[in-house]
Amino acid sequence: MFRTAILRSAAAASRTAMRPSAAAGRFAIAPASRTGSFVPKTVAWQAVRCYASGSSLEKTEVYERIKQLLSGFDKVNDPSNITESAHFANDLGLDSLDTVEVVMAIEEEFSIEIPDKDADTIHSVEKAVEYIVSQPDAN
């Protein structure tokens, strides 16, 4: 029923001369063909959304940014203990609440959202670096 209504309106539009309107500049209505199909033809340029994968972050860059973030964190007992294999609780003296705050700071630093199940596995600098490098949308 809907298809029939469209076909009738297309046939009527092709028989009568219509005043040009704003929509007429964008679309041209194809005359009704013998098969009865209605296919509008686009006249104006259509925008196409293209995605490009940006360059991924390097491990050294991610490590340096996390190291800088942790060195500015007040509760780290000794900033010289921040290494690539440093554990938040064992080496840096952070408790579980501090670890959550560090993960939130990492989210903010790299403009990503870390789900709770993944945040529970990040307990060291090495795990944080691996997670950030594996995220394609990390900045």
Asked if the structure places residue 54 within a domain, the reply is: no
Whether 34 and 86 share a structural domain: no
Whether 68 and 127 share a structural domain: yes
Whether 30 and 69 share a structural domain: no
Q: At 83, which CATH number? A: 1.10.1200.10
Whether 68 and 112 share a structural domain: yes
pTM of the model: 0.59
43 has pLDDT over 60:
no
Number of domains in the chain: 2
pLDDT in the model for residue 50? 60
Whether 63 and 125 share a structural domain: yes
- Tell me the per-residue pLDDT of 13-38, one tens digit each, with 9 for 90 and over: 666 545 555 555 555 555 555 555 66
pLDDT in the model for residue 22? 53
74 tagged catalytic: no
Asked if the structure places residue 119 within a domain, the reply is: yes
74 has pLDDT over 60:
yes
Whether 97 and 118 share a structural domain: yes
Amino acid identity of residue 116, one-letter, is D
Confidence of residue 7 (pLDDT cuts 50, 70, 90): low
Angle between helices 125-134 and 59-71 (to 10 degrees): 130
Whether 90 and 41 share a structural domain: no
Task: Give the whole-angstrom CA distance, residue 20 versus residue 18.
Answer: 6
Asked if the structure places residue 110 within a domain, the reply is: yes
- The average pLDDT across 87-91 equals 94
Whether 86 and 128 share a structural domain: yes
Domain containing 27 equals 2-47
What are the DSSP E strand ranges found in 29-106?
A: 41-42
Task: Give the whole-angstrom CA distance, residue 125 versus residue 88.
Answer: 7
Q: Which listed residue (74, 78, 91, 95) is catalytic?
A: 95
Whether 34 and 100 share a structural domain: no
